[in-house]
Amino acid sequence: MDISTTVKALGALAQESRLNSFRQLVSSGPDGLAAGEIARRLDIPHNTLSSHLAILVNAGLVSSHRESRSIIYSIDFDGTRALLSFLMEDCCQGRPELCAPVLDSLLPGCCTTTDTSGEPNEKNAR
């Protein structure tokens, strides 16, 4: 991820309704939520939410697909990981092990799980 893409992603999150929508989608996991459900949960008019979600999609943080008459939005894990990786890229002067506890506390059990061999596996891989 480069600076301009990062600025675009952070700009997309720098608005209360978009940030709340993004957080709803993070908590919903890979299954996502219908636009109408997000609007209901956040008490945002549908047309306003549609604009906000389009900005998040354009920033690479959210993706969408149609299911019957609904548009389902979900977190774009690749885009979100790229943003977080970029922000933490030069963490702790080249000593990433110092940043591991920070990342673990932010996303406990979110993106990996341990299989029976004790090896981490991607849980939300697409």
Q: Give all domains of the chain, ordered by start, each with its CATH number.
A: 3-77 (1.10.10.10), 96-126 (no CATH)
Per-residue pLDDT in tens (0 to 9) along the chain, 126 residues? 899 999 999 999 999 999 999 999 999 999 999 999 999 999 999 999 999 999 999 999 999 999 999 999 999 999 998 898 888 777 777 776 777 776 666 554 555 444 444 444 444 333
Structural contact between residues 18 and 12, judged by C-beta atoms closer than 8 angstroms: yes
pTM of the model: 0.77
d(CA 73, CA 33): 5
